[in-house]
Structure 1
């Protein structure tokens, strides 16, 4: 009997044991962002624990908020992060270790966030060029010269690169050769990034401060992606910090923010559906998940959630007394965004703070969430398509 029990116990232990490789591991989810201190960070997206920190270049950093120091939002492709810097460099960084792989030097500052398509990194610079850089080697493929600085982050769809310039023009370029297909003059500077949906390119343009006298500070355009012909334009009224706000499309509706208003516009004809007065302006582009629009404010009420079906506010959360200039990212049921010296994760349903990370300098870039080697979450440029 004692022998039988021993064998039964041994059998239980053997069948109950599994190798470490047989145990299903929790998905590895990392959130990446940059700060004006010159660093790129990798944190555990669920806990906020730092995985690594890569100092790219702090040559312009003398502490605190430096208006001229800018590090772009990171982009991810096949284990590599690409980041632009106001020192004129585009960096490639290993996403697992934070080790620099290569650096490409432009002739002036890079404020544009890069875009990657088919192994090529596209990024704009204040030297008036849009660059196409090999993502593996860091060698230049081509450069296209516009008439002014390129703040806009490019969009690449069906082999065409769409990008705006401060010379008032939206350009469509062949992604492989850089040859211009068409250009469209919006009549005012383009700081924001284009959104491409259903054969249309949507872009915002912004007039200068003097335009407050006219009551018009910018427009949103719908332009045929193949021909460059305008379908409609929508006027955004009153001056604001909204020059960086990019439009997004969700279920056939365009959402934008201008001055103190968040506005919903029919994407087919440019007619306004509703607007919500939030009594302060925006520098953040909106993000939409499950019929909720998230956007950062410039009055210290750092993040606001809006029901897009009714145009009413769901919640607002105060995290810092300063402007929220970065656009939120929504993933894992959390809203990720940065502010002066800190990076935050809020509960997406109620807006409660889940965790907070002290970066030590202004976090003004959009975050990037990578889960098991794939970009994950909802972003201002594709609004929900990665969930």
Structure 2
């Protein structure tokens, strides 16, 4: 499949999303083109650690309390709440740079209460996690590069690795953010790179999986995966696992050899997950697969779960699989065979939201800076009026909802 074929299937939602991003290359992407990027952040203020949800979407980055879905209150340098606004309302932690910037990428936590954000037009912002202020208000560019950023960054002790949607991966000096080296590709890199020891792995729309030296960028090998690749590789048991738009799942050695490959019914976008030796992955046709990594990726089961695409990585907790899909539904499934788990009413435990679920799910555990009585699952949608929803893991009870103000 060549790059033209990659965009040639208008009946699939993936092609539409990718095309909308691609044509936005001449200017800002339309708001709502992508999906929220979520991450957890440990905030330390006045010696106390609290965990918050960081959401990057559309024109802003916000922090949300995972216990009740309220906006994190903006504080000053002494960890005291900032004065209320003219309406007497406490000010929320909300980062919105000037210039109509947009965000598809979760900020990267740094040292000393800072995080690094990158906007769609590749401007870098070093943001104070307490004050919601950037060190340089207008940010800075990646020297010598123009284009867009649509996937998360990765950091080592010395470098920050940035994948570019036009082509190439660049390594920035962690302190100065100057470009130290680049690893060339023929097409865009739309998945977060994977750092394992001294090797950086990443894939591209040019069909190749690359392995480069993490310090120099020198290529160690590259491997043709027969189709465009948009998911981050999974490293487990000393091997790499990844799916592609060739409708294939691959098991790959760290020296670049395909050990096993198995077909899927449709394109694989997301990153697989492995639990107790079983690999789980969804495809854009709404099917969920289980493969045995100890037995040459022998298929354990496959289930048609959703009426829409499964982009997000399945969440595995004990004997339960949680899957979000583009059909706006969240599914509770049995890990043993992928069949539905029934709720107290005897019907399959499914929760329907108001917009597609495209982002990975978050599991929030009690303790460790979060005051909740039991584990919560936090799911995001593409709608700013129902951006985040928290459900209890055990029975799917809705606990809170968050929307942009």
On whether the aligned pair clears a TM of 0.5, the verdict is yes
- In the aligned structure 1, how far is the partner of 2:109 from the partner of 2:226? 33
What's the RMSD between the two structures over aligned residues?
Answer: 2.1
Encode CA deviations 1:175-205: one digit per residue, 9 max, x unaligned: 1111111111001001111111121111111
Output aligned runs, 1:230-245, within 5 Å: 230-238=258-266, 243-245=268-270
1:72 aligns with 2:105: yes
- The structure number with the bigger radius of gyration is 1
Equivalent positions of 1:245-284 (< 5 A) are: 245-258=270-283, 259-268=285-294, 269-280=296-307, 281-284=309-312
What is the alpha-carbon distance in structure 2 between the residues aligned to residue 357 and residue 138 of structure 1?
Answer: 34
Matched residue, 1:359: 404
Match of 1:306 in 2: 333
Match of 1:92 in 2: 126
Please point out which of 54, 60, 69 is paired with 1:39: 60
Residue 224 in structure 1 maps to residue 266 in structure 2: no
Deviation sequence 1:50-73 (CA, Å, 0-9, x none): 12010146636xxxxxxxx65113
C-alpha distance in structure 2 between counterparts of 1:111 and 1:28, whole Å? 28
Equivalences for residues 348-387 of structure 1 within 5 A: 348-359=393-404
Whether the 8 Å CA contact 1:92–1:103 is kept in 2: the answer is no
CA distance, structure 2, for counterparts of residue 231 and residue 287 of structure 1: 26
Shift in Å, 1:27: 4.7
Number of equivalent positions: 312
SS of match in other structure, 1:313: coil
**Is 2:115–2:127's contact at 8 Å kept on the other side of the alignment?**
yes
Residue 47 to residue 267, structure 1, CA distance change in 2 (3 Å): same
Query: Contact between 2:193 and 2:200, CA under 8 Å: does it hold in 1?
Result: yes
Give the alignment's TM-score, normalised by structure 2: 0.72
State how far apart, in whole Å, the 1-side matches of 2:127 and 2:319 are: 35
Does the 8 Å contact 1:84/1:112 carry over to 2? no
Change (3 A) 1:93 1:337: farther
Q: Counterparts of 2:191 and 2:293 in 1: how far apart (Å)?
A: 21
Aligned in 2, Cα 1:283/1:139: closer, same or farther, shift over 3 Å?
A: same
2:236 is equivalent to residue 197 of structure 1: yes
TM-score by length of 1: 0.75
Q: Does 2:364 correspond to 1:331?
A: yes
Question: More displaced, 93-102 or 120-129?
Answer: 93-102
Instruction: Tell me how far 1:88 sits from its aligned partner.
Output: 2.2
Q: Which has the higher contact order (CA 8 A, sep 6+)?
A: 1
Distance 1:185 1:275, change over 3 A: same
Q: After TM superposition, give the deviation of residue 344 of structure 1 in Å.
A: 1.6
Is the CA contact (8 Å cut-off) linking 1:164 and 1:170 kept in structure 2?
yes
User: Which structure has more strand as a fraction of its residues?
Assistant: 1
**Residue range with higher mean Cα deviation, 125-134 or 183-192:** 125-134
CA contact (8 A) 2:306 2:327 kept: no
Distance 1:73 1:243, change over 3 A: farther
Q: Does the 8 Å CA contact 2:121/2:147 hold for their aligned counterparts?
A: yes
Task: Give the Å deviation of 1:98.
Answer: 2.0
* Unmatched segments (≥5 aa) in structure 2: 1-45, 73-92, 342-348, 366-374
Aligned to 1:141: 180
Contact preservation (8 Å) 2:234, 2:241: yes
**Secondary structure of 1:264 counterpart:** strand
Distance 1:77-1:274 versus aligned 2 partners, 3 A rule:
farther
Counterpart CA distance in 2 for 1:260 and 1:170 is: 25
Check conservation: 2:51, 2:66, Cα contact below 8 A.
yes
SS across alignment from 1:309: coil
Runs of 4+ in 1 over 6 A off after TM superposition: none
